[in-house]
């Protein structure tokens, strides 16, 4: 029909029209669409009340009474935002007086088949990839597949009531989420709707979930530290604002705990934290929210949750929605920390969608563009120059490995995208070394540029000392007689490992880290009994905070360890060691 300059037109009327009206409609449609001939199909729907609805070439013209009433009702609903009764009455009066009962023209299509959260729609000839569409049931969807005869739409809601023939309407805008300062302190779903029972969120702006990453010209070098409060990470695997640092390890090795500790440590640092839960249990997300609330971290945090009970499309868009919210704050010059927990489940959700959309499977059944899936997400994290707002977004993606296999498809993808990784080892975790950071496999490609001078000065030899200890420990585990130098190296390494142990939800301030590291790396605690080392060093740090608060404040504010500060540390350490040595002997 199209090749002959013809088209099929479906006309739905409130009652059956007579012959002359059908002929007039056919001529009018030909003039309207510039066609030589139109094949007319008539349907009767009494619910239209009057008028008719015309569908042709993917465009719907609504001249029905029902459609006009719906548009009037929508206008009245939009106008019902006044503060008082008089404002409400006046706004409704203006809406009714200014109402134009003309046509409602929209581009529409019809559902061909639906199942597993995927709808195949015909008629949306001008649909764009990533565009938001609305179904007549009220559910929204996102276009994710474009073929010659149909489009594949992933449903962002329930498919109840959707069947063959359901009307689908284009919106002409990409899938987006609401953003605004009011979202801070709230728990929202992947579409930005509140799910914490605290009422609606008043936002006036929306941002597309898919957005091109900032260019090279607009980026600033990463050289401002983002302290995690975890000694092992801040000393050896530093993270800078605008960096992308991967947290990787088997399940139940403390990956989420590191992320939560990092959020807790941002208190008072003017950093907005966004925790994106992908495929987690709802109880786990609730537990994290309670922890953040208990320590006062929800005052500067947002939790975006797409739990395991949510559909694959919602789990797929969740990290992009979180990045859109973070970019809103970054554009205002603020620093943002965003955590994706975890991208392994995100890749599985995308694989599910791709297979349902009949895309070709590749390695491990993932589609060929799964690398692009995470690269376009993580590239959005950066630090902007002053000309572009000066904000930053630091990303901490989490990847779960199977039996420590970091050479699997998704782990190697994300390792190659990020600026370093923190590898958590199962054997270390179960041996009591927590956080179970493997120093050999963990690396930060930003390095000392993201450290304060105090930490850089005191932690300079820490990684080398631990590496030497690991090597000697392997070779001497069966030896009985060791020379004094080897024994001293082993004792020093054991004390360093003991100091790196840190309980949950107890982040350490930068000044306290500097004091602890100075005492440890300079061998000032090598004469302390191994089982007393941790308690001794923490007690000494507390002594410094109580008796020499001005020194600790100087280290915290300047980020440097001055000569007088070092002399004070050595003096206080000597006096403190004399006081507690009697307890060791007892």
In this predicted structure, what is the pLDDT of residue 125? 85
Judged on CB neighbours under 10 Å (0-12, 13-18, 19+), 403 is exposed
In this predicted structure, what is the pLDDT of residue 470? 87
| Number of Cβ atoms within 10 Å of the Cβ of 81 | 9
In this predicted structure, what is the pLDDT of residue 103? 55
What is the C-alpha separation between 276 and 263, in angstroms, rounded? 12
Name residues whose C-beta falls within 8 Å of residue 233's C-beta, 6 or more positions apart in sequence: 239, 258, 422, 435, 437
| Number of Cβ atoms within 10 Å of the Cβ of 274 | 24
| Number of Cβ atoms within 10 Å of the Cβ of 151 | 24
What is the C-alpha separation between 68 and 102, in angstroms, rounded? 8
Secondary structure (3-state) at 89 = helix
Query: What backbone torsions phi and psi does residue 307 show, to the nearest 5 degrees?
Result: -75, 175
Q: Are 25 and 51 in contact (CB under 8 A)?
A: no
Active site residues: 445
Secondary structure (3-state) at 9 = strand
The secondary structure of 438-507, three-state, reads CCCCCEECCHHHHCCHHHHHHCCCHHHHHHHHHHHHHHHCCCCCCCHHHHHHHHHHHHHHHHHCCCCCCC
In this predicted structure, what is the pLDDT of residue 22? 83
In this predicted structure, what is the pLDDT of residue 129? 93
| Number of Cβ atoms within 10 Å of the Cβ of 192 | 22
In this predicted structure, what is the pLDDT of residue 85? 62
Q: Are 507 and 228 in contact (CB under 8 A)?
A: yes
**What digits encode the pLDDT tens for the residues 184-204?**
999 999 999 999 999 999 988
- CA angle, corner 557, sides to 553 and 563, nearest 5? 70
Judged on CB neighbours under 10 Å (0-12, 13-18, 19+), 127 is buried
Q: Are 64 and 48 in contact (CB under 8 A)?
A: yes
Q: In this structure, what is the dihedral angle of CA atoms 494, 499, 502, 506, given to the nearest 10 degrees?
A: 180
Token digits of residue 13: 């009327």
Residues lower than pLDDT 50 in the chain: none
What is the C-alpha separation between 298 and 274, in angstroms, rounded? 10
Beta strands (DSSP E) in 211-281 are: 246-249, 271-278
Strands 131-135 and 392-400: unpaired
**What digits encode the pLDDT tens for the residues 329-349?**
999 999 999 999 989 999 999
Q: Is the dihedral of CA 404, 410, 414, 417 positive or negative?
A: positive
What is the C-alpha separation between 157 and 140, in angstroms, rounded? 7
**What digits encode the pLDDT tens for the residues 271-295?**
999 999 999 999 999 999 999 999 9
Residues forming a β-bridge with 340:
276, 397
Secondary structure (3-state) at 200 = coil
Give the single-character DSSP code of 240: B
Of the CA atoms within 13 Å of residue 189, those in its CB half-sphere come to 17
| H and E: helices and strands count for the chain | 18, 20
What is the C-alpha separation between 32 and 11, in angstroms, rounded? 14
What is the C-alpha separation between 248 and 548, in angstroms, rounded? 39
What is the C-alpha separation between 269 and 271, in angstroms, rounded? 6
With both helix axes pointing from N to C terminus, report the angle between 510-521 and 549-558 in degrees, rounded to the nearest 10: 100
pTM: 0.88
Q: Are 193 and 210 in contact (CB under 8 A)?
A: no
What is the C-alpha separation between 548 and 562, in angstroms, rounded? 14
In this predicted structure, what is the pLDDT of residue 301? 97
Q: Is the dihedral of CA 324, 329, 334, 337 positive or negative?
A: negative
In this predicted structure, what is the pLDDT of residue 259? 97
Token digits of residue 568: 């004070």
């Amino acid at each position: 029909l199209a090749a002959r300059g013809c088209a099929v037109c479906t006309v739905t009327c409130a009652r059956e029209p007579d012959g002359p009206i059908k002929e007039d409609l056919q001529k009018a449609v030909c003039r309207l669409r510039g066609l030589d001939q139109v094949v007319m199909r008539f349907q009767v729907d009494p619910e239209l009340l009057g008028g008719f609805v015309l569908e042709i070439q993917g465009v719907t013209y609504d001249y029905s009474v029902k459609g006009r009433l719906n548009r009037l009702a929508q206008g009245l609903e939009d106008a019902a935002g006044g503060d008082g009764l008089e404002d409400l009455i006046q706004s409704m009066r203006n809406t009714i007086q200014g109402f134009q009962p003309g046509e409602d023209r929209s581009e529409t299509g019809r559902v061909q088949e639906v199942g597993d959260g995927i709808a195949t729609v015909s008629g949306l000839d001008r649909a764009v990839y990533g565009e938001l569409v609305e179904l007549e049931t009220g559910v929204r969807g996102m276009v994710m597949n474009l073929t010659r005869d149909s489009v594949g739409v992933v449903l962002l809601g329930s498919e109840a009531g959707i069947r063959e023939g359901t009307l689908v309407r284009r919106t002409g805008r990409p899938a987006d989420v609401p953003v605004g300062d009011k979202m801070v302190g709230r728990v929202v779903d992947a579409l930005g709707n509140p799910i914490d029972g605290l009422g609606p969120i008043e936002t006036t702006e929306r941002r597309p979930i898919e957005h091109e990453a900032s260019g090279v010209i607009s980026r600033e070098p990463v050289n401002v530290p983002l302290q995690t409060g975890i000694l092992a990470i801040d000393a050896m695997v530093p993270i800078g604002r605008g960096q992308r640092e991967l947290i990787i390890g088997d399940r139940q090795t403390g990956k989420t705990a590191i992320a939560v500790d990092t959020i807790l440590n941002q208190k008072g640092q003017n950093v907005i934290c966004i925790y994106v839960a992908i495929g987690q249990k709802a109880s786990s997300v609730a537990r994290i929210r309670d922890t953040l609330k208990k320590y006062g971290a929800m005052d500067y945090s947002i939790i975006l949750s797409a739990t395991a009970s949510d559909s694959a499309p919602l789990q797929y868009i969740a990290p992009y929605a979180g990045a859109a919210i973070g970019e809103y704050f970054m554009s205002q010059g603020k620093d943002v920390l965003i955590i994706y927990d975890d991208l392994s489940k995100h890749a599985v959700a995308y694989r599910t969608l791709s297979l349902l959309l009949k895309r070709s499977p590749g390695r491990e059944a993932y589609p060929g563009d799964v690398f692009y899936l995470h690269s376009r997400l993580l590239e959005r994290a950066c630090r902007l120059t002053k000309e572009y707002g000066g904000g930053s977004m630091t990303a901490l993606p989490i990847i779960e490995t199977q039996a420590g296999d970091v050479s699997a498809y998704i782990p190697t993808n994300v390792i190659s995208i990020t600026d370093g990784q923190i590898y958590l080892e199962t054997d270390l975790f179960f041996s009591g070394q927590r956080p179970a950071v493997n120093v050999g496999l963990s690396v930060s490609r930003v390095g000392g540029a993201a450290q304060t001078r105090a930490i850089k000065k005191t932690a300079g030899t820490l990684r080398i000392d631990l590496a030497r200890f690991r090597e000697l420990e392997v070779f001497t585990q069966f030896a009985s007689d060791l020379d004094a130098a080897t024994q001293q190296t082993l004792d020093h390494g054991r004390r360093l490992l003991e100091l790196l142990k840190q309980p949950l939800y107890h982040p350490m301030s930068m000044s306290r880290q500097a004091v602890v590291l100075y005492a440890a790396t300079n061998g000032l605690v090598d004469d302390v009994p191994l089982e007393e080392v941790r308690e001794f060093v923490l007690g000494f740090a507390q002594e410094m905070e109580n008796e020499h608060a001005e020194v600790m404040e100087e280290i915290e504010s300047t980020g440097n360890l001055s000569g007088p500060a070092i002399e004070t540390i050595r003096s206080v350490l000597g006096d403190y060691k004399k006081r507690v040595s009697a307890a060791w002997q007892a």
